[in-house]
Structure 1
């Protein structure tokens, strides 16, 4: 190849970031530039390579065959620069740069946060952004490298990695149990106040009380979009709640309701595009998460 037509390493690295994040706006934000600049650099790269590297899909930008080959070259450049950076800084850490993780509220606080903090302590040049929201998995979550989701993970353009199962169970506070009593059957739950997610805003159906016909319509309800608000509402005596076992199962101020008669098992998944999974940073995050859930398997199963 004529040296004058060699692709720019900077443009290759921009393409790699587009492949991982899927959208120009997310790439521009990550790299501290503009959508127009990203578009211009990709067009320049296409001209240098003699073909299109990206094609638009309903879920964002996808690599063409030429683009996939270019990304392999970009990944080699990224590895080389990472090694050089380590030599310059005299730091043995192989991880540097930014990794963005989207996660559900409760799992994010109890499992994702401690694993990411520990990973960053081991790799001081690693920067982390964690976005917390309870929503269904996306084919291409713009602006993130990795998603941690619960429930069904039906995706075709991303890869799913199973982390663990946990349980949703019924709980009440000791004060509520003393004042209102506890149901003796599932039908009796309908005579009580109930704490749950806001149904109209809930994207993960399995987290809501009406996902199965086992739970009757409650007398009254207290609904919140945050699982932490739900836990506090139950603790304050607002009613019976369908809560993650790993958040309240070992707390003395919460009483199990109908233990053994009702529970809902949900999986926890790590989800990422194939291009993101080739990143050493993303692989390190997944390994840290697996280690965290393994160490706390008793809590998850309790």
Structure 2
């Protein structure tokens, strides 16, 4: 048998990683190699396949029809190698490899992290890289397998999954509430210092509404980190619109205007179709869904 007639399995697996991450630089980082090496291996694969497997788009590298056929073969190679390497030790476990997740810091810490730790205890060969940012769904691929974003999504070529609804509510610190007369109407909020995101960096319109719909002036304290906002409220710095699950059950926080102000937002997960077919990515998504269901009483408390 002339094995030279077949595409290189290594090059096929590199193509599969490009299909999942969308950028050569992200692939080079994930595979501990260089952008030049990735480009060279894809060119070699194109020569072996007799045509282009990728085309450049504003959203990153996308597969051609020939590339999709090559990726189907690469997925078979990946599955076979995973079964071999994991099966040698403790039975077949296809939940392995690296999964990169980008999400907001609140979801990442409170929901994703406990879910991922439990998943890794069941599948010790699974590695996770968790990147924190609060933004809308990326139209230019950012080198991740899964993006979890708040608010509405325009998916494009990605596949999306609604994870959960969650509530944004007004809170003050218990000390602040004891020292100040609490607002009785929405208009009264203008008389209190407000805590919020940094306007110039906030990309999620649904989160921007948290203050745009209120009469308060410029926020007295702004931070890109929801944890800093929570601590500013805990330190009695003013009033903030915070996700209920971030402070649920904590005595340091007093709800403000509970019958007048509440906003329901969604968390969505998105991934490329090639990533969605990965057993490890599917397992991570399932873990997120399970965790959001477990936390429903905190995400949408009575």
Indicate the TM-score class for this superposition, using the shorter chain for normalisation.
Answer: over 0.9
Q: For residues 41 and 220 of structure 1, what CA distance do their matches in structure 2 show?
A: 51
1:282 is aligned to 281
Q: Secondary structure at the match of 1:208?
A: helix
Question: Are the counterparts in 2 of residues 103 and 131 from structure 1 also a CA contact under 8 Å?
Answer: yes
1:176 is aligned to 176
2:300 is aligned to 301
Inter-CA distance 81–219: structure 2 relative to 1 (3 Å threshold): closer
Question: Are the counterparts in 2 of residues 176 and 239 from structure 1 also a CA contact under 8 Å?
Answer: yes
Root-mean-square deviation (CA), in Å? 1.5
Q: Secondary structure at the match of 2:61?
A: strand
Q: For residues 220 and 58 of structure 1, what CA distance do their matches in structure 2 show?
A: 36
* Offset at residue 295 of structure 1 (A): 1.2
Determine whether 1:222 maps to 2:227: no
Q: For residues 163 and 142 of structure 2, what CA distance do their matches in structure 1 show?
A: 22
Q: Secondary structure at the match of 2:220?
A: strand
2:61 is aligned to 61
Q: Secondary structure at the match of 1:84?
A: helix
Moved more, 216-225 or 274-283: 216-225
Question: Are the counterparts in 2 of residues 137 and 153 from structure 1 also a CA contact under 8 Å?
Answer: yes
**Ranges in structure 1 where 5+ consecutive residues have no aligned partner:** none
Question: Are the counterparts in 2 of residues 168 and 266 from structure 1 also a CA contact under 8 Å?
Answer: yes
Question: Are the counterparts in 1 of residues 84 and 92 from structure 2 also a CA contact under 8 Å?
Answer: no
2:242 is aligned to 243
Q: For residues 92 and 151 of structure 2, what CA distance do their matches in structure 1 show?
A: 38
Render the CA deviation track for 1:216-269: whole Å, top value 9, x for unaligned. Answer: 133752111100000000111110000000111321111110002111110011
Q: For residues 211 and 73 of structure 2, what CA distance do their matches in structure 1 show?
A: 47
* Offset at residue 208 of structure 1 (A): 2.5
Render the CA deviation track for 1:248-297: whole Å, top value 9, x for unaligned. Answer: 13211111100021111100111101111011110000011111111111
2:256 is aligned to 257
Size of the alignment, in residue pairs?
301
Q: For residues 169 and 210 of structure 2, what CA distance do their matches in structure 1 show?
A: 14
**Ranges in structure 2 where 5+ consecutive residues have no aligned partner:** none
1:232 is aligned to 231
Inter-CA distance 41–63: structure 2 relative to 1 (3 Å threshold): same
Counterparts of 1:8-19 in structure 2 under 5 Å? 8-19=8-19
Q: For residues 144 and 264 of structure 1, what CA distance do their matches in structure 2 show?
A: 29
* Offset at residue 87 of structure 1 (A): 2.2
1:33 is aligned to 33
Moved more, 86-95 or 162-171: 86-95
Q: For residues 283 and 183 of structure 1, what CA distance do their matches in structure 2 show?
A: 46
Question: Are the counterparts in 2 of residues 192 and 220 from structure 1 also a CA contact under 8 Å?
Answer: no
Determine whether 1:47 maps to 2:47: yes
Q: Secondary structure at the match of 1:138?
A: coil
